[in-house]
Structure formats: structure tokens, C-alpha cells
Chains A and B, each alone.
Chain A
Amino acid sequence: MNEIFWAFGRASGIVSLGLFTLVLLLGIVSRSGRPLPGLPRFSVALLHRSTSLMALVFLVLHVSTLMLDPHAKLSLANAIVPFTAGWNPFWVGLGTVAFDLVIALVVTGLLRQRIGQRAFRAIHWCAYAMWPFAFAHALGSGTNAVDLWFQAYAWGCAGLVAVGAGWRLSANFAETSRARLGRI
């Protein structure tokens, strides 16, 4: 029975990393103002939202199964306050930081209309900080971190994020950047 919690906790963590990678990329595409092939702009925005909620579900499963697991012995406080876990506190703590950021991102995302654009945007920038924390946590405290397939998967995610971030910073990132610069 205990093994099940451990295995499930691990698997849901691995799935979370992939889903948050997808969420980040969809967010970047959304921000560019460009549609995707077969997916109009508003669908990209809706997909960004629904994928993020799905990622949250897996993340909550990840954290809660490890709270039930007798090896990990994660308490509720450990899950919220970074670097307090009894086991591997630094690397688990990085995951806790990512978890806290996700909670802030989701809450402000859902309340966007109410809290106003400025507050929403300020907090939403944290999405770029959240991912590296999650990635470092996956490599540092993941039981599978030494496995080749896991390395390939995690670094594959990192590659996609690097490409996305590079594109985000490039001059022609926004759909309208050419036109606005007078080069229509």
C-alpha cells in the first residue's frame, strides 16, 4: 500500500512538470497574440486556462499523496512553508516554493476581473519564476532523477521552455510588432 503512494506521488509529479511546461508555452503563445494552426486566439487563451487547472490537479495529487506516504512524511506545513521538510529539505523546498507560486497564480488568475489588471499582471510574471523552481525540484528530489528516460524528459521540457523564452524575448515576438514599427 505504501509503495502505491510513493509511486503515485512520483508519477503525478512527473506529469505536473510536463503540464506546467505546456501551460507556460501556451501562455507565451497567448501573449504573442498569435493563433495556432487550427486554434484561434481565444481558444489558445482557453486552453492555457484549462491546462493550468489540470496541472494544478496533478500538483495537488502530487503533494497530497506524499503527505499520505509514510516515507516522505510531508506535513501540511512542509507543503506550504519552504525548506522545512524532514527529508531532503532543500530540494523538496524548491518544490514548495513552486507550489506556493502556483497557488498565487491560480487564485489571481481566477479573480482577474476582480483584482484588476495591474495586480494580476504583477503576480502573473511569477509564472516565469515558478517553472525553474519546479524543474530544479524535479531534478534534485526526484527518485527517478538518475534514470536516463527521466533526464531526457526533464531536459526536453527545459529545451521547450528555453525556446519559448527565447522567442518571447525576440523583437518580432508580438503579432503586431512589425505593423506597429511602421513596417506593414
Chain B
Amino acid sequence: MSRAQLELHIDFTRCDGRGLCTEILPELLVRDDWGYPVGRGGRDIHVPDGLAGAAQDAVDLCPLQALMLRRVTRS
């Protein structure tokens, strides 16, 4: 069965590790030693429905427009 899932994508060519997203989404992201965000669960950052609003806030507030939310369908 396939299901559409919300995923957060970080464009590291833009991100400067300013740390706003890690503050807004501590459930999903941690900061590495250089300040860059890292997904707690690895490269693909799944956003559960309860955090969709917070994830959108992070996208809007990222000072470098490095975040993107998208729906992906995985089988």
C-alpha cells in the first residue's frame, strides 16, 4: 500500500546552520557540532501530521530559504 507522506528537505548548498529549524523542530532535528541541522532519523526527514504546522513555520522562517516541505509517496 502506498501512502503520501510529508518530508522535510534541507538544501545544504544554502543552509548556513543558523539553527532556527532545530529550535522549531527539536523532535525531528538536532544540531551538529558546526550548527547544521541533522535529521534524528537519518537523511529522510518524515514529518508526522502533528508537526506539519511547525515544519511549515520552519520553512517560512529559515533565513536562507534552505528548507522545503514536500509530499512523497512511498510504496
Contacts and interface: CB of A to CB of B under 8 A. Distances in A.
Give the interface size bracket for B toward A: 10 to 19
A113 B65 contact: yes
Interface in B4-44: 14, 16-20, 23-24, 33-35
Contacts of B65: 112-113, 116-117
B35 A175 contact: yes
A83 B16 CA distance: 41
Most buried by A among B17, B24, B64: B17
B18 A33 contact: yes
Given A46-B61, A113-B65, A180 B34 contact: yes
A117 B24 CA distance: 21
Nearest to B36: A176
Contact of B63 (A45, A176, A179, A180): A45
Given A33-B17, A41-B20, A113 B34 contact: no
B14 A176 contact: no
Contact of B35 (A33, A35, A112, A116): A33
**Do most interface residues of chain B lie in helix, strand or loop, or is the interface mixed?**
loop
Most buried by B among A30, A35, A46, A176: A176
Most buried by A among B14, B16, B18: B18
Contact of A113 (B18, B23, B33, B60): B60
Interface of B: 14, 16-20, 23-24, 33-35, 57, 60-61, 63-65
Given A41-B19, A45-B61, 19 more contacts: A30-B63, A31-B63, A33-B16, A33-B19, A35-B23, A41-B20, A42-B23, A42-B57, A42-B61, A45-B20, A46-B61, A175-B18, A175-B35, A176-B17, A176-B34, A179-B33, A179-B34, A179-B35, A180-B35
Interface of A: 30-31, 33, 35, 40-42, 45-46, 112-113, 116-117, 175-176, 179-180, 184
